[in-house]
Amino acid sequence: MKTLEAQQVITSEDLLKHWQGHRALTRRLIEMFPEKDFFEFSIGGMRPFAKLVDELLAIAAPALKGIVNREAQPYTEGTEKLIFKAQYLAKWDEATEEINKYWEQLTIEDFSETFNLFGQYEFPIIQNILYFIDNEVHHRGQAYVYLRALNIEPPFFWER
């Protein structure tokens, strides 16, 4: 028993909680953006926050669904055109529920298995999931700069 335990450091439940904590913070940032700036504000030619959120939505629930069903669907972004922040928030909340639902179907064996995510990223599933989280933190860091540049005080990073 010792040996296996000795190599593993986080539970599936805690990892979900960690991810959803990050997602709750990202949701707060969406809420804080002025409607217009959410869709238009940009620095250095980077995507406005709405486009980044399109990416986050195209990854999280669809990717987890693909993992659970072992279906390598291609990555598709912004199939549904959202034009209000409120629509993004509704989509975000739907994704939150979907993630919880699919997560329950993940077995432990799944995490170490290799899966060709979106038919493109062939890695152990744990690495894919860590990538979703990191990618969200990365783009949200970008959104923090946008808010500061707009003279809006963002929430503390450690508030989840």
For residue 80, the minimal CB distance to a second copy (Å) is 25
Contact positions toward a second copy, by CB under 8 A? 1, 4-15, 18, 22, 43-46, 107-108, 111, 126-127, 130-131, 133-135, 137-142, 144-151, 157-158
Rounded CA separation 40/57 (Å): 18
For residue 45, the minimal CB distance to a second copy (Å) is 6
Nearest to 15 by CA among 134, 130, 136: 130
**Based on CB atoms, which residue is closest to a second copy, 83 or 108?**
108
Nearest to 36 by CA among 26, 50, 53: 50
Cβ atoms 75, 128 nearer than 8 A: no
**Based on CB atoms, which residue is closest to a second copy, 14 or 94?**
14
For residue 22, the minimal CB distance to a second copy (Å) is 7
DSSP 115: E
